[in-house]
Structure 1
Amino acid sequence: MILLVAFIVGFLMAFSIGANDVANSMSTAVGSRAITPRQAVMIAAVLEFLGAVMFGSHVVTTITKGIIKVEFMNDPRQVLAGALAALLGSSVWILLATVWGMPVSTTHSIVGGMAGFGIANAGLHAINWNKMASIVISWVLSPIVGWLLAYTVFKIISYVILRKSHPAMAMKRSIPLIIFTTFFIVCLLFALKTLKMQFDRALGWSLIIAAVIGVLGTTFFRKIQPAGSDEYEYVESIFKRLQIMTSCYVSFSHGANDVANAIGPVALVYWIVSHGNVAQKVGVPMWLLALGGLGISAGALLLGARVMKTVGEEITQLNNSRGFCIDFSTASTVLFASVLGLPISTTHVVVGSVVGVGTARGVELVNVGVLKNILISWFATVPVSALVSAGFYLLILRFI
């Protein structure tokens, strides 16, 4: 019965992650009209599932993630209740935020859930406050870095391409550098975060793959001719194709990297029931990864359009070149943080990048009201998840 409940709750968490985080990958493509909302959720559902099953981590660090001190994680009964409570607390908050249409960090939500059961179990001294402080810093760091980079990238593209007297010619000259840089960042990020490769090895493979794709892509894109006299339409058509490719990558890698947020606690419950003790790292069977991937896909398919609309359409108006700047800046920021080992929220980076492109065109073009609601949801994420998790923890302890 405990395992059945854990599987259901884990699926619920995966569902909520898919519903909210699909905005990270597909919102700009939808906002810029590169694809329709229906196409976006269908593509995301397939790619999220494939990413989770093919590259989801088969060995995950259990739900502590450094938030709760190890010495308070020895009683199997309490850890069992805590794992379920953390999943429930974070799931409830993410689903509420999704219904509200607000993009929140699902990683911060599970962190809040862990902290909630840790405090309910042993008090404030059970929490690693240094780790919590680094997470709080990421609230501020993530959107600022995303904003700054997106602002800069859009200004450069505007100067080098969009403001030229013949933007189509300027675009053709810039294609090799744009394609090489984009795919170099994507390949290196995938190697480091998803494949867990060493930096020097990942760097070598990324350079080779990006160079090959750069040559092939340049040959392909340069064959495309402007439709009529509208050179800007030609430029946007190139960025549209690049944007769709980067959005698909982000969706695939999200399924691979974030399935652990939902399945890690379930794998821990499975381990405790099977072995009767607590482990800091546990193996994850393929069928459990598939369960998480299915949940993420279902969430993206059924509720993904809500948050996607907020990020892609309601903060500022997007087109393909602006959407590309956002995707490029988000991937670059996450890559930079990964190399340095900094905790960073992809959701926060995406929103910061959207605001960066908006302010690059003029502060008045950013919807401050929507932005204020997003900021409120961000600051509410950890405390609300923690409170709900603490309540579930005390309740679950009575029944196991």
Structure 2
Amino acid sequence: MPKFHQYDYLFAFSLIGAFIDAYGIGANDVANSFATSVSSKSLTFRQAMFAAAICEFLGAVLVGARVASTIKNGIISLSVFDGDSAVLLLGFTCAIIGSCTWLTFATRHAMPVSTTHTTVGSVIGIGIAAKGFGAVKWGWNGVGQIFASWGIAPCIAGGFAAIVYLITKYAVLKSRNPVKVGLCTAPIYFFIVASVLTTSIIVKGSPSLNLDELPAGTTAGAILGTGAIVALLSILFWLPYVHAKVVKGDYTLKWYHFFMGPMLWKREAPADALTADGAVPDYRVEAFADHDPSSTSPAAAARNQNTIGAEDIETAGSKDEKDAASSEEGGNRSEHPSRLAKVEAELAGEAPKKEGKRIAGRPDPPNYRTFSGSWLEPWNLYTVFRYNALPWAWYSVSAGLRTDIHAMQADGSEKEKAKLRQMHAIAEQYDNKVEHLFSFMQVMTACTASFAHGANDVSNAIGPLAVVYAVWSTTEFPGSKEPVPIWILAFGGAGIVIGLGTYGWKLMSVLGNRLTMHSPSRGFSMEFGASITVVLASYLGIPVSTTQSITGATVAVGLCNGDWRAMNWRMLGWIFFSWVLTLPFAATISGCLFAIVLNAPRWAA
């Protein structure tokens, strides 16, 4: 039973804020991680949502941190609260509110931010509000490492991702027989990928199991053994299954045929298998192309200098503006010379009502019913609830899973579309059959990273809540570590899943193919490079963000196209700007709230 009953309202605020925090982690951090898999078409948006939901929730509940650090990353000391548990309860409640406020704002405005740094920024704010700037550790062992990680994480991840992609590009993709080489080298890839991902689980994704405390010999045996088993399974089951698809062209294969394993070597393909075009998905990014069947491939067009130049872009932009201006000056304006006249015409039924702007790729919203008078009138309440409120609620919950991410990424003004076409024309697109081989490894990498993320980063949402719960239920001042009840882990995991499914499309729509062209081989290299970085940084004790790692990996792989114009530098500037704003804004919100409440006037006793 709780002992701090007078502060029940603070615990309630913390619960709400922690759920919004977890929701934001799912909609921002997890969506950012899976944008690569969706953009490369290795996973559909719905498949990514279900895979991430399962992996994130299981990671949080099964192996999530059973003990949370009271002060995230040791940025401030518990001594700033002078041993007053009530003040600490208030401080962490304000930190939760500050974190969820900034994360919600950032997600709403499609700003990919680090959720870890958001939590750290909120803690910095309450530290400054309590004891001034001297309460914060600004050196290398504190905030200095966070500033350094803005450059360290992207550079390390970019280096590893570039190495992986360049090896893949010249050893497999550009070889004389890429499909044959890809099939032969796939078990080696599976061994390396499984070994690195196992290491990632050990050092980052299993805080409750203490696997990182195992002896070095046991750890090495587990890593190499797991890699060897996965490689063997790939030879027994994956290789015959994929061979039947990409070599035999057997379009009748279903997912459950995978478990037939070696028997698939003798399975006869349909007579028209080699001429039919349905065994392997089409991974080419067509949404950004001109869709002219007589045109050459995008890569060839780039080499022939047929890409759109700056003058064409400006012409397209000015043409778009002129068309809009002429439309505004056209019949509608002469018919209704003022905005008031337009409104009067609509009310009189003489002109159609203006429809809201439709977002490309998003499902059409429900047709809400109109009514006369106030919605509070009894005869209108049923209409509002039955035909407006319920359809709106269902649309809000389900529309995310029905969103076409590629259509959203390709949407924009004519000027934006022209720039995206130019950027994608520079990147060479390879054979679908060989790209199909890397889609499996990309999915495996994304799911494992998601599991580790759910196990480790769920603490960003529920760590402060665990401290609030401990103080509220015992009235005792906490130690440096606090136990995390299983219900809090499930609470945070559920918030992550809901946020990803309902609002994850927002971040995915501005990332992926809007940064640079994605494909399974590129996406696999990006995610694998980010995973290697997380493993290396964990061993070295460097705090890196998965958001920053995947961004650096994306930039490096994009530059491997051999032209700096293959990247959307304006979008990258927006992402870096989001990182810079995170610490000060989260700190300002939580610090100001804490200072105002703590120093507010009170009634005399």
Paired residue for 1:269, among 468, 479, 483?
Answer: 468
8 A contact 1:23–1:308 mirrored in 2: yes
8 A contact 1:25–1:248 mirrored in 2: no
8 A contact 2:38–2:45 mirrored in 1: yes
8 A contact 2:61–2:489 mirrored in 1: yes
Structural mapping, 1:160-199, within 5 Å: 160-195=171-206, 196-197=210-211, 198=213
Structural mapping, 1:222-371, within 5 Å: 222-223=239-240, 224-225=242-243, 226=246, 227=249, 228=274, 232-279=431-478, 280-361=480-561, 362-371=563-572
Paired residue for 1:386, among 577, 582, 587?
Answer: 587
Is 1:206 the counterpart of 2:228? The answer is no
8 A contact 2:72–2:119 mirrored in 1: no
Between 1:266-275 and 1:117-126, the stretch displaced more is 266-275
Secondary structure at 2:482 match in 1: strand
Paired residue for 1:94, among 103, 110, 113?
Answer: 103
User: 2-side partners of 1:25 and 1:399: how far apart?
Assistant: 46
Amino acid at match of 2:154: P
Between 1:59-68 and 1:13-22, the stretch displaced more is 59-68
Residue 335 of structure 2 corresponds to none
User: 1-side partners of 2:529 and 2:474: how far apart?
Assistant: 45
| CA-to-aligned-CA distance 1:65-87 (integer Å, 9 cap, x gap) | 31012321422122112111111
User: 2-side partners of 1:278 and 1:10: how far apart?
Assistant: 21
User: 2-side partners of 1:337 and 1:320: how far apart?
Assistant: 25
Residues 216 and 260 of structure 1, relative CA distance in 2, 3 Å threshold:
same
8 A contact 1:24–1:250 mirrored in 2: no
User: 2-side partners of 1:70 and 1:389: how far apart?
Assistant: 17
8 A contact 1:221–1:238 mirrored in 2: no
8 A contact 2:33–2:546 mirrored in 1: no
Between 1:224-233 and 1:348-357, the stretch displaced more is 224-233
Paired residue for 2:238, among 218, 221, 241?
Answer: 221
Deviation at 1:194, TM superposition (A): 2.0
Secondary structure at 2:458 match in 1: helix
Between 1:107-116 and 1:277-286, the stretch displaced more is 277-286
TM (normalized to structure 1)?
0.96
More helix by share: 1
Amino acid at match of 1:53: V
Residue 118 of structure 2 corresponds to 109
8 A contact 2:32–2:507 mirrored in 1: no
Deviation at 1:144, TM superposition (A): 1.1
Paired residue for 1:47, among 45, 48, 55?
Answer: 55
Secondary structure at 1:60 match in 2: strand
User: 1-side partners of 2:95 and 2:77: how far apart?
Assistant: 16
User: 2-side partners of 1:325 and 1:217: how far apart?
Assistant: 19
Amino acid at match of 2:192: T
Between 1:65-74 and 1:137-146, the stretch displaced more is 65-74
| CA-to-aligned-CA distance 1:144-190 (integer Å, 9 cap, x gap) | 11112212211111111011111112112211210100000001110
Q: Which runs of 5+ in 1 are unaligned?
A: none
| CA-to-aligned-CA distance 1:204-239 (integer Å, 9 cap, x gap) | 211111101111113333322224499922211111
Residue 56 of structure 1 corresponds to 64
User: 2-side partners of 1:253 and 1:396: how far apart?
Assistant: 37
8 A contact 2:195–2:226 mirrored in 1: yes
Residue 150 of structure 1 corresponds to 161
Deviation at 1:254, TM superposition (A): 1.2
User: 2-side partners of 1:10 and 1:392: how far apart?
Assistant: 16
Is 1:71 the counterpart of 2:270? The answer is no
Deviation at 1:253, TM superposition (A): 1.6
Residues 399 and 293 of structure 1, relative CA distance in 2, 3 Å threshold:
farther
Identity %: 36
Paired residue for 2:34, among 26, 51, 57?
Answer: 26
Secondary structure at 2:509 match in 1: helix
User: 2-side partners of 1:96 and 1:29: how far apart?
Assistant: 25
User: 2-side partners of 1:75 and 1:133: how far apart?
Assistant: 29
Is 1:83 the counterpart of 2:92? The answer is yes
Supply the RMSD in Å over aligned alpha carbons.
Answer: 1.8
Between 1:160-169 and 1:305-314, the stretch displaced more is 305-314
8 A contact 1:85–1:396 mirrored in 2: no
8 A contact 2:71–2:77 mirrored in 1: no
TM (normalized to structure 2)?
0.64
Deviation at 1:46, TM superposition (A): 2.7
User: 2-side partners of 1:24 and 1:350: how far apart?
Assistant: 8
Secondary structure at 1:103 match in 2: coil
Q: Which runs of 5+ in 2 are unaligned?
A: 1-7, 250-273, 281-429
Deviation at 1:321, TM superposition (A): 0.5
Between 1:100-109 and 1:31-40, the stretch displaced more is 31-40
User: 2-side partners of 1:151 and 1:136: how far apart?
Assistant: 24
User: 1-side partners of 2:51 and 2:592: how far apart?
Assistant: 37
Paired residue for 1:12, among 20, 26, 43?
Answer: 20
Amino acid at match of 2:592: G
Is 1:133 the counterpart of 2:133? The answer is no
Secondary structure at 2:68 match in 1: strand
Which structure has the greater CA radius of gyration? Answer: 2
Amino acid at match of 2:122: G
